[in-house]
Amino acid sequence: MSTSIENIDIHSVIMASQAISKEISLDQLLRTLMKIVIVNAGAQRGCILMNTSSTSLVAGGYESEQDEITVRKYDISDFHEYPKAVLQAVAASGETIIYNNAADETPFADDPYIMSRQPQSVLCMPLMNQNKVTAFIYLENNLVTGAFTKERLKMIDLLSREMVYSLENASLYTDLEKSEEKYRDLINYLMDGIAIIQDRRFVFVNEAMGQMLGYAAADMTDMSLERFMTPDDLAMVQSHHDTILANAAPSLEYEVRLGYSDGRKEITAIFKATAIQYLSKPAILVAVKDITERKRSEEELRTHRDKLEQLVAERTEELEHKNAELNRYFDIVDKNVVIVQIDPHGIITLVSEEFCELSGYRREELLGSRHTLMRASSNPGGAHKEFAISSIQGDGWRGELLQRRKDGSILWLDLIMEPVIAGDLVSGYTFIGHNITDKKRIEQLSITDELTSLFNRRYFNELFSRELKRAVRKQSELTLILLDIDYYKKYNDTYGHYEGDRVLRKIGAAIQGQLRKESDFAFRLGGEEFGILSKGRSPKGSYDLAEQIRQSIEALQIPHEKNDRSEYVTVSVGVAVAKMEAGEFTNEAMYKLADSALYASKAKGRNCVTLHILSHGNV
């Protein structure tokens, strides 16, 4: 393995050069180069990497037990036994790197490979051609430092040009072999037939062409066109071929009938012919497509076309009659049903005449504008929120919705909303319904106190039960406030019932003015007694609300000379807050709690607020 400089002579250079130049297989050339470089550079192991599209890599090393050099080929993605940092540096600089003591001298001491292998001597050389790197040679010696002297590199320098040319020639040869094989496979496995014609004979056909006519491809070679075509078709084909060969047309496409091998049937095919040179002689290259089934289908289609045209004429007359009826139905629906369609951005795209009539808008005013359904400020029960969630999820929705007419008056609609689905996406929404304004007016009258315009006792009983169940279900807080006008009977006796009714109306308005629209509800429970239901208020928030109401009523400064607590009309207030962390509470229990707080306020001298809290069943 230790070859002295005197043994590297011109004879060795010639022998190595001959060994390199005779290889045309890229894989075998890389193996040969690896052995030559290891022997003449004094290396223990090394590898050669191509700097091209090739993924080949060879690695070799001296096996002391067998006293021989072994070389193996790898795919570059599966081989990691080389210092990548060193090769990257050589690729960037284009210069050879030599380290006499790689573990200590090299700036690549942190490279995982260097740290693992601890090589003594390292050489990395680029093989260049026209200032481009063709391949990299990496060598190492783990036994001695300074193994790769300049004298040892003379042999590699002398052979480097031969290596470059041989590598490039072998790469080109390998690429050419792959290309030829690829084109041969491509032609043979095409679904359409391919043939070359010279002197009215087939000189080449692919497998598809042979199968098309019932022959093996090899058997059709040298067969005459007369064997497959009628005289008329043959004359037509030859005329086309003469035109192409005379350069009168670059290519021609024509239809021809060809006889099958059994002589009992024929196929119809389309020839697309082009002039080429084949074996140094003019020839015609044809691409052949069997259209027999297509022609048969076309004939069947022509047979059925007349029948279809007659059926279509009959159906058209019938459909026109039904369409006229359908248009009459649509006109009835348009004039009697509320229909609104919007796109995903809320822009109105369709509206019925009934909706225009009810809303007071012309159709031209609505189309292209943003819809205002469910945007009226007094929509009850969170209908707007429920619809918004349904819109996001793409589900349907049904409910009663409040709409403002153009003149500002109220329009109640009972609507069904359904998403319009296009593929997997919601492309819009359709609302269908009818006018229920009169029905809602009657309902509103049935739950409203005529004197104060607050909700009445009937609606209180219904809403109180519903909200208490909701609070228990959601584990949220619910507040009930009861208040009485202090010495109201004395007020009526002193000022008269007319003034007494006026006081009730003013107190109702004062209470309403302190409430939140979405979560607070005010009621006249009877006589001079009022109630407030409030959702989600803390005990302190509930007390503050009650105190604000008490102060706002006294601030009305309605004279009351029979009131022992003030010169004005005042109220006594009882507040019950149920904290629903656990357990269930009945209407009766909570009402009694608020009533108890009210009587406590009266016992303290009236014109004050008392708060009772019900939590875990305890007051």
pLDDT above 80 for 253: yes
| 9-13, 171-175, 182-186 — most confident range | 171-175
pLDDT above 80 for 340: yes
Cβ atoms 21, 106 nearer than 8 A: no
Measured from the Cβ of residue 284, the count of other Cβ atoms closer than 10 Å reads 25
Distance separating alpha carbons of residues 104 and 99, to the nearest angstrom: 9
Q: What pTM does this model have?
A: 0.42
Average pLDDT, the chain: 82
Mean pLDDT, rounded, for 91-105: 80
Distance separating alpha carbons of residues 573 and 544, to the nearest angstrom: 12
Between 371 and 594, where is the model more confident?
A: 594
Distance separating alpha carbons of residues 57 and 49, to the nearest angstrom: 5
CB burial string 156-181: b at 16+ within 10 A, e below: bebbbebbbebbeebbeebeeeeeee
pLDDT above 60 for 385: no
**Confidence (pLDDT) at 179:** 57
List, for residues 389-428, the tens digit of each pLDDT value: 455 455 678 888 888 888 888 888 888 888 888 888 888 8
Mean pLDDT, rounded, for 282-293: 90
Least confident range from 87-91, 166-170, 365-369, 508-512: namely 166-170
Beta-sheet strands, E only, within 64-210: 68-75, 97-99, 121-129, 132-141, 193-198, 201-205
| 205-209, 521-525, 561-565 — most confident range | 521-525
pLDDT above 60 for 506: yes
Tokens 């690829």 belong to 182
Q: What percent of the chain has pLDDT over 70?
A: 82
Helix H segments across 380-496? 383-393, 437-446, 457-474, 488-495
pLDDT above 90 for 160: no
Tokens 């050489």 belong to 123
Which two tokens mark 114?
A: 């260097």
List, for residues 306-330, the tens digit of each pLDDT value: 888 888 888 888 888 898 888 888 8
Phi and psi torsions of 75, nearest 5°? -85, 135
List, for residues 476-505, the tens digit of each pLDDT value: 889 999 999 999 999 999 999 999 999 999
| 37-41, 64-68, 92-96, 614-618 — most confident range | 92-96
**Confidence (pLDDT) at 67:** 64
Distance separating alpha carbons of residues 16 and 22, to the nearest angstrom: 10
Distance separating alpha carbons of residues 439 and 509, to the nearest angstrom: 26
Least confident range from 194-208, 516-530, 571-585: namely 571-585
**What are the respective helix, strand and coil percentages of the chain, to the nearest 5?**
45, 30, 25
Residue 405: partners with Cβ closer than 8 Å, 6 or more residues away: 358, 359, 360, 411
| Closest among 428, 431, 404 to 339, alpha carbons compared | 431
pLDDT above 80 for 169: no
| Closest among 117, 62, 109, 119 to 85, alpha carbons compared | 109
Residue 240, strand partner residues: none
Residue 398, strand partner residues: 416
**Confidence (pLDDT) at 581:** 63
**Confidence (pLDDT) at 489:** 94
Quickly list DSSP for 338-366: EEEEE-TTSBEEEE-HHHHHHHT--HHHH
Provide the pLDDT confidence category of residue 143 given band limits of 50, 70 and 90: confident
Cβ atoms 435, 412 nearer than 8 A: yes
3-state secondary structure of 560: coil
CA angle, corner 410, sides to 454 and 412, nearest 5?
A: 95
Cβ atoms 580, 476 nearer than 8 A: yes
Measured from the Cβ of residue 250, the count of other Cβ atoms closer than 10 Å reads 8
pLDDT above 70 for 16: no
| 29-43, 206-220, 382-396, 520-534 — most confident range | 520-534
Q: How far is CA 17 from the centre of its chain?
A: 61
Provide the pLDDT confidence category of residue 111 given band limits of 50, 70 and 90: confident
Least confident range from 58-72, 216-230, 361-375: namely 58-72
**Confidence (pLDDT) at 369:** 86
Distance separating alpha carbons of residues 446 and 462, to the nearest angstrom: 12
Least confident range from 299-303, 331-335, 581-585: namely 581-585
| Closest among 176, 233, 160, 157 to 200, alpha carbons compared | 233
3-state secondary structure of 246: coil
Indicate the angle between helix axes 488-495 and 497-513, nearest 10 degrees: 130
Beta-sheet strands, E only, within 486-617: 520-526, 529-535, 571-579, 609-615
**Confidence (pLDDT) at 387:** 52
**Confidence (pLDDT) at 126:** 85
Least confident range from 187-196, 254-263, 524-533: namely 187-196
Quote the DSSP letter at residue 77. G
3-state secondary structure of 478: strand
Provide the pLDDT confidence category of residue 101 given band limits of 50, 70 and 90: confident
Quote the DSSP letter at residue 155. H
Distance separating alpha carbons of residues 578 and 567, to the nearest angstrom: 35
Residue type, 453: S
**Confidence (pLDDT) at 1:** 41
pLDDT above 70 for 40: yes
Provide the pLDDT confidence category of residue 350 given band limits of 50, 70 and 90: very high
- Its sign, for the CA torsion 578, 584, 586, 592, is negative
